[in-house]
Amino acid sequence: MAGAVELSVDGAPATLDDLTHVALVNYGAYTSFRMEQGGVRGLDLHLARLEAEAVELFGEPVGETRLRGLIRTAVGEREDCWLRVSLFSPEIGPRTPGWIGRPKVMIAASPPPSPLADSVRLQLQTYVREAPHLKHVATFGLIRARRAAQAAGFDDALFVDAEGYVSEGSLWNIGFLSGDEVIWPQAPMLAGVAQALVHQGLGGSGLTGRTGAVHAGELAHFDGAFLCNSATPACAVASIGDHAFATSAETIDRPRAAWASNPPQPI
């Protein structure tokens, strides 16, 4: 994230103790999104993600009303910014994992990042994230995978399991195009908010969508592919491994329009 970052914890400036714990204990979860004109696309989905993560990892929810209030405090007078809302507890560490309670909420507010790219070349890597249904803070494997892909001359990494079935990418979900249909991989993975927003808006773009198993050996069956996350509503996939796609800009405009059809929700 470029530009100044302001960090708050439970509505107050982050303290040295807060930052020390977060730096030394890699246990928690988060969600991140852009606020534009005072609203957030898919805010209800982001809040639901945080509440589910809080219960699973800490044993208690934060509460939607409290989350909204903390986000409003972190935003201040801004109309357009990037927010990362993280959950952690100073009571939990390698020697003290058993604490149960409401987690602290750390919010990072910064200028919005640019989209990942206009087009990407992906390297297939055999990898499955730990607890893949969670957007957790254990990002070592993701950064290492992306770094390895770029060192090999690709832009990013696309994960497959030991049998070759596609799941997700390092920082994003992937959708495959077959005619007027979008196929989302069916595999252990994070259900992305951007993915959900694209899926919700497909009908207005003349597309349909479904989930299904996608094998790396069957890429020639698809007309194209795109990736999506909260900073990148739709980005064309130029190739996966040695298989190239001829995905036109007009084709990518359709899932991008599907995402945009979801209006920002007030905080």
At 1 the pLDDT is 42
At 250 the pLDDT is 85
At 98 the pLDDT is 97
> Which of 112, 14, 31, 107 lies closest to 69 in space, CA to CA?
107
Amino acid identity at 179: G
Q: Which residues contact 37 (CB under 8 A, 6 or more apart)?
A: 79, 80, 264
Domain boundaries, the chain: 6-110, 119-266
- The structure tokens listed for 107 are 């919010």
- The structure tokens listed for 245 are 């796609």
Distance CA 146, CA 170 (A): 6
At 249 the pLDDT is 81
Distance CA 149, CA 258 (A): 29
Encode pLDDT of 157-185 as tens digits. Answer: 999 999 999 999 999 999 999 999 999 99
- The structure tokens listed for 182 are 């979008």
Residues of the chain with pLDDT under 50: 1-2
Distance CA 99, CA 256 (A): 42
Please provide residue 35's backbone torsions phi and psi, each rounded to the nearest 5 degrees. -95, 130
Other CB atoms within 10 A of residue 25 CB:
16
CATH superfamily membership of 119-266: D-amino Acid Aminotransferase, subunit A, domain 2 (3.20.10.10)
- The structure tokens listed for 89 are 């507890």
HSE at residue 32, side-chain half, CA atoms within 13 A, is 20
Three-class SS string for the chain? Answer: CCCCCEEEECCEECCHHHHHHHHHCCCCEEEEEEEECCEECCHHHHHHHHHHHHHHHHECCCCHHHHHHHHHHHHCCCCEEEEEEEEECCCCECCECCCCECCEEEEEEECCCCCCCCEEEEEEEECCCCCCCCCECCCHHHHHHHHHHHHCCCCEEEEECCCCEEEEECCCEEEEEECCEEEEECCCCCCCHHHHHHHHCHHHHCCEEEEECCEHHHHHHCCEEEEEECCEEEEEEEEECCEECCCCHHHHHHHHHHHHCCCCEEC
At 3 the pLDDT is 60
pTM exceeds 0.85 for this model: yes
- In terms of Cβ atoms closer than 10 Å to its own Cβ (0-12, 13-18, 19+), residue 160 is buried
| CATH architecture entry for 6-110 | 2-Layer Sandwich (3.30)
Distance CA 108, CA 71 (A): 10
Distance of CA 55 to the CA centre of its chain: 19
